[in-house]
């Protein structure tokens, strides 16, 4: 964190060439800043709070493309690419930062309790088979043997390649690794406007302006609140609130991530579990509610009756940034070509952060245009 003195000095400095300002220090902004700094760019990252304080702090950290995009389509293609590079991204970061991260590719179980649920699982299995993805069908007794803690269910699909990671820990690690590569993290600076200023880009904040060659806008749900020169309408990113519980489990733990029709459960080695998540249109309200907590408590007790003996640790809420088509918005602005959008990751920001960072660094540092931009371009919504 830079102190006020540093911050003011920095605001007066004219940026040298290849300076990149990243707006937003959630998991996406931190991944982008880390990748750019690691590859030699001069990076500043600015957040109105601190690293990982937005949707990221509430995230369950699951890496589960098949649960998030069970019908296939462009989101599944993008999410699969996101998963494919995860091992190498984490290995590189851990090596670079000399840390180990809570990262597990132990598979996920999706259980079905109803006929409709079984039909949905069978459909997912056929999508996976068509893509050559390994998945195992478990009947009631297989499931009982595998996860005795669960209430009896009709069937389940085990997808071994999926997993989870500690999203907050990953974000903190990327932020500090970015700083070790020379990036500057500026906290408590609210960006109001992004504009061109002569040959440079100017990022106007409530405490002065930053300048750079390029700006990456990664402000999650708040991305549409920042005014951009030459753009009349706000970027169509809507906050979708998600609430999540953290419980201290008592008795035998689940061995892997489990999804049901009503909730999912992520078991940690320390005996805590995360239970998520509500999906609510609550505007920019980041608070947890009695109704949200109650919904998740009921759902987890229905899935695993021994949850009623767990103790309550915390409830968290975050605003998932959603575009109207639920695909991320990643790519160059048509109004300001030195502005790159990296937002609207909706339910998959943890899964897609490394891929987002890689394609943006390829674009900015190597002039490589990833084919994914065709799907994720901001221009699909107009002249942004």
Binding residues for ligand FAD, per CB under 6 A? 23-29, 46-49, 53-56, 58-62, 190-191, 218-222, 226, 242, 244, 276-277, 318, 320-321, 343, 345-351
Contact indicator for 218, 29 with CB cutoff of 8 Å: yes
Please give the Cα distance from 363 to 373 (Å, whole number).
10
Task: Kindly report the length of the chain.
Answer: 384
Contact indicator for 204, 63 with CB cutoff of 8 Å: no
Task: Tell me whether residue 107 or residue 349 sits nearer to ligand FAD (CB atom).
Answer: 349
Q: Taking the complex as a whole, how short is the minimal distance between the CB of residue 26 and ligand FAD, in angstroms? A: 2
Strand order in the sheet with 191-197: 208-212, 200-205, 191-197, 227-228
Q: Taking the complex as a whole, how short is the minimal distance between the CB of residue 145 and ligand FAD, in angstroms? A: 27
Q: Taking the complex as a whole, how short is the minimal distance between the CB of residue 47 and ligand FAD, in angstroms? A: 4
Task: Tell me whether residue 137 or residue 284 sits nearer to ligand FAD (CB atom).
Answer: 284
Task: Tell me whether residue 117 or residue 220 sits nearer to ligand FAD (CB atom).
Answer: 220
Task: Tell me whether residue 139 or residue 285 sits nearer to ligand FAD (CB atom).
Answer: 285
Task: Tell me whether residue 25 or residue 150 sits nearer to ligand FAD (CB atom).
Answer: 25
Task: Tell me whether residue 54 or residue 155 sits nearer to ligand FAD (CB atom).
Answer: 54
Q: Taking the complex as a whole, how short is the minimal distance between the CB of residue 48 and ligand FAD, in angstroms? A: 4
Task: Tell me whether residue 118 or residue 202 sits nearer to ligand FAD (CB atom).
Answer: 202
Task: Tell me whether residue 353 or residue 364 sits nearer to ligand FAD (CB atom).
Answer: 353
Task: Tell me whether residue 212 or residue 318 sits nearer to ligand FAD (CB atom).
Answer: 318
Q: Taking the complex as a whole, how short is the minimal distance between the CB of residue 285 and ligand FAD, in angstroms? A: 12
Task: Tell me whether residue 135 or residue 352 sits nearer to ligand FAD (CB atom).
Answer: 352
Q: Taking the complex as a whole, how short is the minimal distance between the CB of residue 53 and ligand FAD, in angstroms? A: 5
Q: Which three-class secondary structure string do you get for the chain?
A: CCCHHHHHHHHHCCCCCCEEEEECCCHHHHHHHHHHHHCCCEEEEECCCCCCCCHHHHCCCEECHHHHCCCCCHHHHHHHHHHHCHHHHHHHHHHHHCCCCCEECCCEEEEECCHHHHHHHHHHHHHHHHCCCCCEEEEHHHHHHHCCCCCCCCEEEEECCCEEECHHHHHHHHHHHHHHCCCEEECCCCEEEEEEECCEEEEEECCEEEEECEEEECCHHHHHHCEECCCCCCCCCEEEEEEEEEEECCCCCCCCEEECCCCEEEECCCCEEEEECCCECCCCCCCCCHHHHHHHHHHHHHHCHHHHHCEEEEEEEEEEEECCCCCCEEEECCCCCCEEEEECCHHHHHHHHHHHHHHHHHHHHHCCCCCCHHHHCHHHHCCC
Q: Taking the complex as a whole, how short is the minimal distance between the CB of residue 280 and ligand FAD, in angstroms? A: 10
Q: Taking the complex as a whole, how short is the minimal distance between the CB of residue 338 and ligand FAD, in angstroms? A: 18
Q: Taking the complex as a whole, how short is the minimal distance between the CB of residue 30 and ligand FAD, in angstroms? A: 7
CA distances from 143 to 133, 160, 299 (A): 20, 15, 19
Q: Taking the complex as a whole, how short is the minimal distance between the CB of residue 218 and ligand FAD, in angstroms? A: 6
């Amino acid at each position: 964190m830079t102190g006020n003195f540093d911050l003011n000095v920095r605001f007066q400095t004219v940026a040298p060439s290849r300076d990149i300002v990243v707006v937003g220090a959630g998991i996406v902004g931190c991944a982008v800043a880390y990748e750019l700094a690691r590859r030699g760019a001069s990076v500043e990252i600015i957040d109105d709070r601190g690293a990982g304080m937005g949707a990221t702090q509430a995230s369950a950290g699951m890496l589960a493309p098949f649960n998030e995009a069970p019908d296939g389509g462009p989101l599944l293609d993008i999410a699969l690419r996101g998963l494919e590079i995860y091992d190498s991204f984490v290995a590189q970061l851990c090596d670079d930062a000399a840390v180990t991260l809570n990262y597990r590719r132990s598979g996920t179980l999706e259980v079905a309790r109803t006929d409709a649920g079984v039909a949905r699982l069978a459909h997912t299995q056929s999508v996976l088979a068509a893509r050559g993805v390994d998945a195992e069908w478990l009947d009631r007794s297989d499931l009982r043997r595998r996860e005795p803690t669960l209430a009896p269910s009709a069937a389940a699909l085990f997808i071994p390649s999926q997993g989870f990671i500690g999203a907050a820990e990953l974000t903190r690690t990327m932020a500090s690794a970015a700083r070790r590569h020379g990036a500057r993290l500026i906290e408590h600076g609210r960006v109001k406007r992004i504009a061109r200023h002569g040959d440079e880009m100017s990022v106007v904040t409530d405490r002065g302006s930053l300048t750079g060659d390029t700006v990456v806008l990664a402000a999650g749900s708040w991305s549409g609140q920042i005014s951009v020169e030459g753009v009349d309408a706000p970027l169509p990113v809507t906050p979708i609130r998600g609430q999540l519980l953290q419980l201290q489990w008592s008795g035998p733990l689940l061995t892997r991530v489990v999804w049901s029709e009503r909730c999912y459960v992520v078991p940690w080695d320390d005996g805590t579990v995360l239970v998520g998540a509500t999906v609510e249109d609550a505007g920019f309200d980041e608070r947890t509610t009695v109704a949200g907590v109650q919904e998740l408590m009921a759902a987890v007790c229905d899935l695993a009756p021994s949850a009623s003996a767990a103790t309550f640790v915390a409830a968290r809420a975050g605003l998932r940034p959603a575009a109207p088509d639920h695909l991320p918005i990643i790519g160059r602005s048509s109004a300001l070509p030195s502005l790159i959008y990296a937002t609207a990751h909706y339910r998959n920001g943890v899964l897609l952060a490394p891929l987002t960072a890689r394609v943006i660094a390829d674009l900015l540092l190597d002039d490589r245009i990833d084919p994914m931009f065709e799907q994720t371009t901001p221009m699909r919504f107009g002249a942004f």
